[in-house]
Structure 1
Amino acid sequence: MVDPVQEIKSKLGIVELVSDYVQLKKAGAYFKGLSPFTNEKTPSFYVSPQKDIAFCFSTNQGGDIFTFYQLVENCNFQEALKDLALRTGVNIETMKMPTSKDIEKKNRVFDLQEYLSKIFQKELSKSKDNLNYLRQRGIKDSVIKEFDLGLCNMDSKVYVDLLSKKGFSQQEMIDSGSFSDKAGYLECKFKDRLMIPISDSRGNVIAFGGRKLLESQKAKYLNSPETFIYKKNQTLYGFDKAKERIRETKTVILVEGYFDQIACYQNGFKNTVAVCGTALTENQVKLLSRFAERFVFCLDNDKAGKRAIANTSEIIAKFTDQIYIMNLGEFKDPADCFNEDPSVFVESMRNPLNLISFYQALYLPEKKITQNNTKSLQDFLESVFKILFILSDEIISEIWIREIADLLDLPKQKLLSKYSSFRKNQKVEVDTVKSAKFDLKIGDYLALLVYSDIDNLQEYKSLILDNFNYLKEIEFFNLLKTNEFDLFKINLKFLDVKLMELELKGLNFEKLDLRVEIEKCFSRISSQYKKQRIAEIQRQLSRNDNKNNLELLKELQNLMKK
């Protein structure tokens, strides 16, 4: 089932919508302008393309595209939904909002895919030939197990019967995308294929990739179709395993295929994800930018891979200027490189090309300007200028143009003049964000930390419950407990607004070691709560009429021991 709200959001960005009402200026990672909700001379209205929210700090109003539209057009949610659906071409008549039944349906399919994956794994463990095939590709047994690789080699009826015994209906099997209905007979789509489970960022199996085993099979890889739990433009293979290493290194390596990602991971480059195609989408880049500041391409060394890098770099530049490209020389992809000569990959990762060198190699490999390649020069400069304009940083522009002048032996001033002419044809202006002081209570700070590390929420669940007496007044923790930590039931957009406000004041949560900060907060909270409780018990014991002295004394004694 398609969620109309998410469908509209995927087609209409917050910056695009707000620009119809507010003249926006680039301000670092944000856009800013005069508030549409009040008369002001100094801009207090900010838009975050990463978080998809807009907020006016002078009136304390804002939110996502629907909230903003309701505020600016003075309409209700249903009217906003209808208007924005019309604008984006989304047919809401055929859709409906997700209910608790929809959420239950989603969880059932998660469970089905997980169980099916276990069946495939067991099947592979009994197939010596297919295990040997993977070993010959250089994949270790421990990695085969860690990535839950499997085999689909049995008759479809066997899978259907096994799932039926586990309580799953035939409709749920069809909904998973792993089965198709052939005139009342369910057929598994991946017969005679090696199975690669595809997981979401929380590790739920949402789809499969199947690598052919028979020469008679036309498609080398067969992937699950899009379903209500699997959206290709929002999914990156291996992200669930790579995200912590990406967070630690602030770097993500982008490869093309499943086995490229597995090869990189096995050889110590655990901050690698596969795009499973050739082009990253803005949704995928937005997800990665929450963890990474540095993007390193290592796509297949062919025309399609190079074209994808050129196209995708313009998307990444909305989030960072740290874009690099690895060159594996004669090797087509990382998997081949690791099997033949791993040192080439290591050296290429150590010294990747920057975008200028990449575009130069793409358009002007001879590094010389002649009357025969002026068109190539124009293509080269336009590609670089597009990136510089998106980055909107005067210092970076100065550095890049100086590098181009030295590289191609061109006058720097003429390049600056050409870039200035290019910019005049664009709409966005450059500005900067000034930082200010910030003040947070420890419980509110902890809420924002946990929200920033929401993918690892289950790791903090017991700590939250143990300290809930101290945290119960904080809306975030109250919502978590009330909804049994089920994030599908909770709207936490209000925290995005607070994060944006604090980032504008100079506190960037993405640069914090979240685990360390969270542990410190819980330690302080536990200590504060203990002190407060000891003082409270001592006050109660000072009253002679207290009938619960024995219980209070025991509690006090336990607290004093900690």
Structure 2
Amino acid sequence: MEITEIKSQLSIANVLHYYGLKPDKNNKMCCPFHEDKTPSMQIYYKTQTAYCFSSNCKTHGKSMDVIDFIMHKENLSKHEAIKKAEEILNPGSGNQEISKEKFLTNMFQYFRNAISNSKPAKEYLEKRNLDNSILEIGYNSGQFHHGERKTGELINNALEIGLLLDKGLVNNRTKEKAYQVFANKCIIFPLKNRDNEIVSIYGRSILEPNDNKLAAGTSRHFYLKNRSGIYPGYPKKDTKKLILTEAIIDCASLLQINPIANSYSLMACFGTNGLNEEILQAIKDLPELEEIIFCFDQDKAGKMAVAKCSNLIMEQCNNVKITSVELPNNDVNETLQLHDESIFTELLSNRKDIFLSTEGDSSIPRNDKRTVILTKEESPKAEPKTAAEFLQQKDLLKSLNQLIEKAGIIGEENSRLLLFLITISYLNKSPLHGIVQGSSGSGKTHIISRIADLMPQEDVLRFTRITESSLYNWGEFDLFQKIIIIEDLDGLKEDALYALREFISNQVLRSSVTIKDKKGNNKSSHKIVKGQFSSLSATTKGETYEDNMNRSFIIAINESEEQTEKIINYQNRRNAGEVDKSEEQKAISFIQKIVKNLKHYEVINPFATQIQLPNNVKNKRRLNEMFQSIIKQITIIHQYQRETKDNFLITEIEDIENAVEILFESIILKIDELDGSLRQFFEKLKKAFKEDSFTRFDAMEVTGFKKTQLQFYLNELVRLEYLKQIGYANKGFKYKISYSDNIQKVRKDLKEAFTKQLEELKKKK
């Protein structure tokens, strides 16, 4: 069609009606092209044009005809706007009939624009906490086939698809044929195919029985005939975690929460019996899928549906973990109406494995239950046991430590287990933090990196350096339930260390920032970053980070000759092909499964008041809290073996014994004035020289340290008065041990004190 022909047939009223825009009685309306609270756009029906009088509008200064209006409304080129105008004017024109997908896309655009003209629809969305500026939501007022929009093609297409039903009715006033409208007075959601095209729609009535407009028992849910498509669309191929909701409105509610929308894929079922073949096939077609999370209603029907759907999925995807979220209210949408959206982060962290928690649930039919331990046939082929079976072993920590060694972390038996326990705390409300000390080249960065390899990699963030303000610039939930690995703590400046300290202490950073509003003006804003994360850092220094160390467990790298021999022997065997790398990778994968199988629990330690730390420890208050935290972590990792009471895990004496053993060296470091690597250096000097004087070359030969690191340690020991410097610089200094403390006696006394307390606990039990 020619432009003149389009303009002669397509009125400005028709265009406004298509986009759901309605001028007031003075032919004015709020401009759709900029933020406009006071109507600044005038509609001129005589000339079929529109003009915005606001200088803030991109169209200001130019009168718009129907093609210009379409071009600006949809950000199209002139040519595309002409094609769109032809489509609005006659959607069925041309040699080819308009496709169902194209027609539904056009209709949904109309429904979406219609919300702005419907006060009841806006009130319903507000009541339901649904934001139509974020979500794809429309409203069907039942008028789409009336007025200037009405054409034969529109009626025919609507009848064919099912938007209109021919009941043989006649309008008494106009004597024209009348139609029953599909999903009248409903908010509208699109259902999409694999190509992301709208192939069907769902309508949810905004009328309730108590409105006196909807008869009791009348359906409030509407689907087009021959329903197909998925809401909000097919999940991405790289989906690892998929949330399934019972209803479309519940799914839409979760889509509005950025941390969830960014970290998970979502799909809605069509009710308790709505896990259809299309949805099942979409799930089967996800090659990287690891977990399906049910967010169904909390009533009996919802729980039974979860059990039924879980079994259906397991029949076709038996390697996928299936979990369920327990909601505090009946459904997802109601929960969001009554709580802040951040509650869902906590609810997701507390989700339960369906097949590890169904026993005793009377709402699940007997024939839908599975045993707590999966059968041998269902075990992963690459492993002799499932993660659940592994976690039920009697000597769990010993077996876990052996598995960590199979994964390639050699030696450091207690340290690697402590680091593992610290790291897996990232799902807890009070996560833990560790700092690994060691000299240059001692392997401190290697060990924290390998521990991080054992965790689900989507939860790990690794940093070589952190700039002064970078922690303040993350999104509100970007660091929530994450693991942060800092390879070089020495490279952080004071402002970055301060931010890290605040994060560790308070789990939140608050900053005042300057932003630009929509009009380009500067304004102050309050930015919040929440940081429920565990962290591991590596450093060569000790005292430098005392404030950070007070908030973290200190782990010293074992720099003994025995440990060096273990590592060298392993490296040689690996290079000789004697170490099976595939077995190493299997161990890593299996540990990751173990971590994923762990659920967060609150822990009650009935013995907490009956065991005390030594009085000579530095920062005893903070260390005591850290000591109790490790007991908690050991209890959590034994969750398949521990008694639960009101959903609390109960600590046993065995957990305290394990905590003392694992944490012993870290407690010693808190007592010792010397940090870990400096203490090991000093002990080598004491053993070699006792009361003899020595040069730095003698010390180099005994300790194996190079010049720079060696001199730093010698100077530090002189400063702390453990060594005495003799002679003059021009002739070369000599050194002599001036304070030979007895750290072995301290260790012995501490071990005896703990042993005595534990024996007393066992007697009382």
Length-normalised TM-score, structure 2: 0.33
**Whose strand proportion is higher, 1 or 2?**
2
**Whose helix proportion is higher, 1 or 2?**
1
> Which of these two proteins has the greater Rg computed from alpha carbons?
2
Q: Which has the higher relative contact order, 1 or 2, with Cα contacts under 8 A spaced 6 or more apart?
A: 1
